[in-house]
Amino acid sequence: MNIVEPYEPIQHHWFFNQQVDSKDSWQPFSSEDSQRLEEAYARGKYDKDEVVVATDGRRYDVKLRERKRYPVYWEQKPTEVRRCSWFHKGSKDMNYTPYTEDLSEFLEDAYMIAVTLDEWKTNLELPTGETVILHNPKLMTQYPISCKDFPPSPTERTQPRTLKRGVENISIEIPEGEPEIVDHLVFMVHGIGPACDIRLRGIVQCVNEFRNASNSLITSHFRPSGDSSIIGRVEYLPVNWHKVLHGETTGVDKDIERITLPSISRLRQFSNDTVLDLFFYNSATYCQTIVDTVASEINRLHSLFLQRHPQFTGHVSLFGHSLGSLILFDLLTNQETSADVTDHELHKDAHVNSDCGSYESLEVALKSHGLEEHLSLLHKEQVDLESLILCSEKDLKDIGIPLGPRKKMMNCVKKWKNSRMGSGRAAKTETNSPSLGMRNPHDPQTPTTSAVDYQHFDVGIGQVSIDYPQLAFHPQAFFAAGSPIGMFLTVRGLKRIDPNYSLPTCKSFYNIFHPFDPVAYRIEPMIVPQDVDLPAMLIPHHKGRKRMHLELKEGLTRVSSDLLGSLRMVWQSISQVPTPALAEGGLSSMTPTDEAEACQVEQEERNVKVGMLNRGRRIDFVLQETPIESFNEYLFAIQSHLCYWESEDTALLVLKEIYKYFQVRNAQL
Q: Are 174 and 31 in contact (CB under 8 A)?
A: yes
Q: Are 33 and 14 in contact (CB under 8 A)?
A: yes
Q: Are 219 and 270 in contact (CB under 8 A)?
A: no
The burial class, CB within 10 Å (0-12 / 13-18 / 19+), for 216 is middle
* Contact status, residue 624 vs residue 649, Cβ threshold 8 Å: yes
How crowded is the C-beta side of 206, counted as CA atoms within 13 Å?
Answer: 26
Torsion of CA 302, 304, 309, 311, to 10 degrees: 60
Q: 16: part of which helix (H) or strand (E)?
A: strand 13-20
CA distance 456 to 466: 10
322 is catalytic: yes
User: In degrees rounded to 5, what are phi and psi of residue 85?
Assistant: -145, -30
Q: Please list the residues that pair with 123 across neighbouring strands.
A: 133
Biggest CA-to-CA distance, the chain: 107
Residues 399-437 as b or e (16 or more Cβ within 10 Å = b)? eebeeebbebbbebbeebeeebbeebeebbeeeeebbbb
Evaluate whether 526 touches 486 at the Cβ level (below 8 Å): yes
Q: Which amino acid does the sequence have at 63?
A: K
* Residue among 470, 471, 510, 476 at smallest CA distance from 185: 476
CA angle (21 as vertex; 20, 25 as ends), nearest 5: 30
CA distances from 195 to 127, 198, 665 (A): 43, 8, 38
- 151 cis-preceded (ω within 30 degrees of 0): yes
- Bridge partners (DSSP) of residue 187 are 237, 318
Catalytic residue (choose from 85, 214, 317, 322): 322
For residues 649 and 542, the answer to whether their CB atoms sit within 8 Å is: yes
Selection from 329, 322, 328, 216 nearest residue 643 by Cα: 322
Which residue numbers are catalytic? 322
